Amino acid sequence: MTAPQLDIQSLNLSLGKFSLRNINLSCDKGEYHILLGPTGSGKTSLMKCILGFYRVTNGKIFSKDKNITNEIPERRCMGYVPQNYSLFPHLNVEGNIRFGFHAKDNFIQDPDAIVDRLCSILDIHKLRTRNVHHLSGGEKQRVALARALAIQPDIVLLDEPFSSIDESAKRNLWVELKTIINEIGITAFHITHNLEEAYSMGDRISVLLNGELHQSDRTQIIFEKPATEGVARYLTYRNLFSGIVKADNETTIVDLGHFSIVAPQKIAAGEQVRLCIMPQDIKIIKEDRPIRGGLRKNIFQVKIVSILSLPDYFLVYAKLLESPKEFDFEMKVSRYLERKYNLFNGKKIRVAIPEKQIVLVASQIQTGE
């Protein structure tokens, strides 16, 4: 079995009052791996451990089969694109790209061919003599990436590479950057707090929250089956409930206090569980229409208490008719459906929750495995 390109084992780091705790993750060769988490979660600190800028308190870091935990940064064979690119202002574009060739530990065969190829792939041939002060944000990103790749690293690490790019330009750059990385055939480890960016670019995602790794899995699994309540909240699962499983021979019924819901898997009676539902998974059901099998087990009569209009959709807040709460469900409804069902405050509607869209989560990281 091939060793991972990057393998972090039981890593701990203390930085004053903040710490990274028991981090375990791996990144396969050729993978585009996203480290996702909010500002202050420790993403950049973990990246600096990988690069060798921070010495870990304990734990190990491997690059393929080699233990690099105590290697100096120059010997880790890693390319690095910092958050604001950190281009050298006294060098032009080509000077920046060639900068890594001058390190005494780097022997690069045919550097001219490497520079030509990178400039071609990144479409920056016409910028080679340009002063870096005169580049756009996207151009600076390409030059920083070319500089990182010129030393022919085993892996490239990108720290919030789109943070200084205009919102209108970001999506095109997501596609371009991943295409470039795939064409070159290099492994990428990319940190971001942007959910759309992570979903669009990541082959695999690791979610870091407050110094702890909550989940690491394929992108689709992360977004569809969050492992902990923390991940669910970060991924905007707004409908979070706690309850006790009631005895039933055929289905798992979770008592949530003022209502019950049928869960998607068998759970022992008496067990306390947390479950969550994404706003877009709650379906409006017409009174005169037959109900599909997957929706029949969780049907509720609700009253709309608030509607929030957003640019592309509506958030509809609804409560069960006898509920003591301000609202029970947050629903994401397209503009087309809002018009189709003529939704307004106070209207009573019928909603259904597909059983398979209900996700059971842990309240905290499971450490006993």
| Cβ proximity of 78 and 150 under 8 Å | no
Give pLDDT tens digits along the chain (369 positions): 678 999 999 999 999 999 999 999 999 999 999 999 999 999 999 999 999 999 999 999 999 989 999 999 988 999 999 988 889 999 999 999 998 887 656 667 788 898 998 888 888 999 999 999 999 888 888 899 999 999 889 999 999 988 877 777 788 888 888 988 888 889 999 999 999 999 999 999 999 999 999 999 999 999 999 999 999 999 989 899 999 998 776 778 999 999 999 988 888 889 899 999 999 999 999 877 767 766 788 999 999 999 999 999 999 999 999 899 999 999 999 999 999 999 999 999 999 999 888 998 887 776 544
CA atoms within 13 A of residue 75's CA, in its CB half-sphere: 8
- The pLDDT, as a whole number, for residue 340 is 93
Residue 207 pairs in a beta bridge with: 36, 215
Location of structure tokens 């890593």: 11
CA-nearest of 178, 113, 124, 126 to 152 is: 113
Q: Domains of the chain, with CATH numbers?
A: 6-228 (3.40.50.300), 239-361 (2.40.50.100)
Location of structure tokens 């308190």: 57
Residue 262 pairs in a beta bridge with: 253
Instruction: Provide the 10 A C-beta neighbour count for residue 364.
Output: 12
- From residue 172, give the alpha-carbon distance in Å to each of 16, 118, 158, 203, 347: 39, 19, 17, 18, 41
Residue 338 DSSP symbol = H
CA-nearest of 223, 229, 230, 232 to 34 is: 223
Output the DSSP codes for 107-158: --SSHHHHHHHHHHHTT-GGGTTSBGGG--HHHHHHHHHHHHHHT--SEEEE
Three-class SS of residue 249? coil
Claim: this prediction has a pTM higher than 0.85:
yes
Give ∠ CA 215-219-225 in degrees, rounded to 5.
Answer: 60
Residue 275 pairs in a beta bridge with: 241, 360
- The pLDDT, as a whole number, for residue 368 is 45
Location of structure tokens 């706003």: 279
Cβ within 8 Å of residue 238, ≥6 positions away: 278, 279, 330
- From residue 36, give the alpha-carbon distance in Å to each of 47, 86, 212, 213, 335: 12, 22, 12, 10, 30
| Cβ proximity of 282 and 261 under 8 Å | no
- The pLDDT, as a whole number, for residue 162 is 86
| Cβ proximity of 157 and 79 under 8 Å | yes
Helix (H) or strand (E) holding 121: helix 111-121
Helix (H) or strand (E) holding 79: strand 78-81
- The pLDDT, as a whole number, for residue 169 is 77
Residue 10 DSSP symbol = E
